[in-house]
Amino acid sequence: MEENKQQQQQEEEEDGILLYYKYAHVPDINDLVSFYDSNCKSLGLLGRVRIAPDGVNVTVGGKLSSLEIHIAAVKLNNLFEGTDFKLASCSCPLNDKIAKECGFTSLSIRVVKELVTFSSHPLLKSPTISNAGRHLSAAQFHSVLHSAGSFSENEGHSQRKQLFLLDARNLYETRIGKFQTSNVETLDPEIRQYSDLPSWIDSHAEQLQGNSVLMYCTGGIRCEMASAYIRSKGAGFENVFQLYGGIQRYLEQFPDGGFFKGKNFVFDHRISVGSSNADVVGSCLLCGSSFDDYSSRCRCTYCRMLVLVCDRCQKDGAKYVCELCQKQSKGIEPVPLIGSSGYLNSTPDDGSGAVELESATLCDHMTSPPEHPQGHGSRPPKKLKILCLHGFRQNASGFKGRTASLTKKLKDIAELVFIDAPHELPFIYQPRPTEIVHGSIELEVQKGPPPLESCKKKFAWLVAQDFNSSRGTNWKIAEERFDPLQYRQQTDGYDTSLAYLKDVFSQSGPFDGILGFSQGAAMAASVCGQRGRLDGEIDFKFAILCSGFALQTGEFEMGSIKCPSIHVFGNGLGKDRQIARNASMELANLFEKSCSLIIEHESGHIIPTRSPYIDQIKAFLLRFL
């Protein structure tokens, strides 16, 4: 009976996908092979592991709890220090054919010469990764594209460097989605496989030299090698930049797609991951109608590259010729639909098996399955995990109690995690003055503070400059009456709080978003502004800032913080005595308008949970599921 119960619980648990890679010298390859073989088999993980002298590249799937155990085991090895483990829940493959092609029917552990094979030419030595192009966070990348037009207008033509977008992916990937902006030319090498890219770079070196190049790929690893190769060409090739985390990270930060149009092709059984924008970029190879679904796995009969063929044009026994083979004047003779077990590789193999794995390992940072999963037995999407930062002189338990209604109304889509801030505050009370009754009798309204043992500790994210960190054991009498503008003097302790949050994300993460209230919102907003600098340490997709205010650092300009955010505060009718409407509005104005939402309510220093406010909050969060 107990065994049946455990089996049922295991069957009901969510499935997931884990993707990670690490560039580092592997001192003992055989030892690492043994570890993966033993660990993955014991946990029932399936997928692909590639181990090379210069690093490790992993894509495995299984139960979420098993994947978390695997992560904990991998972290015990110092080789993986700083590794970004990308864990996502997912639905099952649409069919066995897709599962076989994407490598999730068995465990494959292979030792390869290079983590990513950059060229099939035996005499071309791979470039040094340390010479790779500078990383740009998703926000920085977006900002460069956004401002490209103004740069070109303001700079003199004779001294202006041209800015190019360079797509480092294969042709079939670019056909369903790519970056597009009228101000920047996108260069699409139209290659069948990654090992063809060096030849394209060589033939276009004159075009690239002396200009700035923004590179991107699915998850980042292909740009590491390709950008290093461009920079290795010497003078005039220094200005090469790469999108950190690739399209995956960009869509995570800009869920509406931003400058990326269409879908991000991935190399696991999800096939592609889109934004909230449902526009279709791809088209059918035969009839030209809008279409971007590779789930049928139609392929070119000559080179075996994936091609887009819509449902109406698909026929049993039909053959297809990709656009590259057509350019090479190969006959328009057909290719059978995938029907045999012989067509298992999703791209031509260059000998290392790393091209497919590279994108599969990095391609998807989304933590939820498709919005409308198909097939029987599909499970509900994973909840968003949100870290909650309380206000000044509050604590986690108190904030949790005050937001109980919010927690209840978001229970189906979000899990709220509450933590205490790092600065413990002394116990302070304000004696109430005596009252004069009937003109002569004095009545003491408050005799004294309550006993300490009945009081919970209070904390803060920011403190005054004269703050004494020593924690007293007795009550202190306030030196002056409550000042509603005291938050302006609480500017110290930020570095301590930031380091504390890094530990929280490392030990209790990942988190999908941050919710901050009052001073907690000010702290969260500052972290939003530093996301590019904190990549790998504090990663999240969105922020909910309630009754917040901006820290008076002068670090951020209007519209400079590019993080999806929602700002909730009182509408200025005087009911919020702590934080004025203007202060919260000033904070909201620091965020880019295209990815932020303002909700004003008529209440005081609270987070409203009735309609229409809770409906707007829910709608915002659902964009990230």
| Domain assignments of the chain as residue spans, ordered by start | 14-111, 129-147+161-281, 384-423+491-623
Nearest to 421 by CA among 389, 445, 380: 389
* Counts for the chain of helices (H) and strands (E), in that order: 18, 27
Q: Is the pLDDT of residue 166 over 90?
A: yes
Confidence at residue 614, expressed as pLDDT on a 0 to 100 scale: 92
For residue range 275-323, what is the model confidence (pLDDT) as tens digits?
A: 777 789 999 999 899 999 998 889 888 888 999 999 999 988 888 899 8
Instruction: For domain 129-147+161-281, give the CATH superfamily.
Output: Rhodanese-like domain (3.40.250.10)
Confidence at residue 428, expressed as pLDDT on a 0 to 100 scale: 61
The pLDDT confidence band at residue 261, using thresholds 50, 70 and 90, is very high
Mean pLDDT over residues 509-517, rounded? 92
Confidence at residue 574, expressed as pLDDT on a 0 to 100 scale: 54
Please provide the CATH number assigned to the domain covering 14-111. 3.30.70.100
Q: Is 40 a catalytic residue?
A: no
d(CA 365, CA 91): 15
Which residue in 40, 102, 217, 563 is the catalytic one?
217
Mean pLDDT over residues 545-549, rounded? 91
d(CA 269, CA 103): 9
Confidence at residue 365, expressed as pLDDT on a 0 to 100 scale: 26
Note whether 86 and 19 are within 8 A (CB). Answer: yes
Q: Residue 572 has which token pair?
A: 């200025």
Please provide the CATH number assigned to the domain covering 384-423+491-623. 3.40.50.1820
d(CA 577, CA 392): 14
Cis, peptide link before residue 510, omega less than 30° from 0? yes
Q: 3-state secondary structure string, 112-130? A: CCCCCCCCCCCCCCCCCHH
Beta strands in 519-595, from DSSP E residues, in sequence order: 542-546, 565-570
For residues 613 and 576, the model is more confident at 613
The pLDDT confidence band at residue 485, using thresholds 50, 70 and 90, is low
Nearest to 181 by CA among 138, 136, 143: 143
**Neighbouring C-beta atoms of residue 434, cutoff 10 Å:** 12
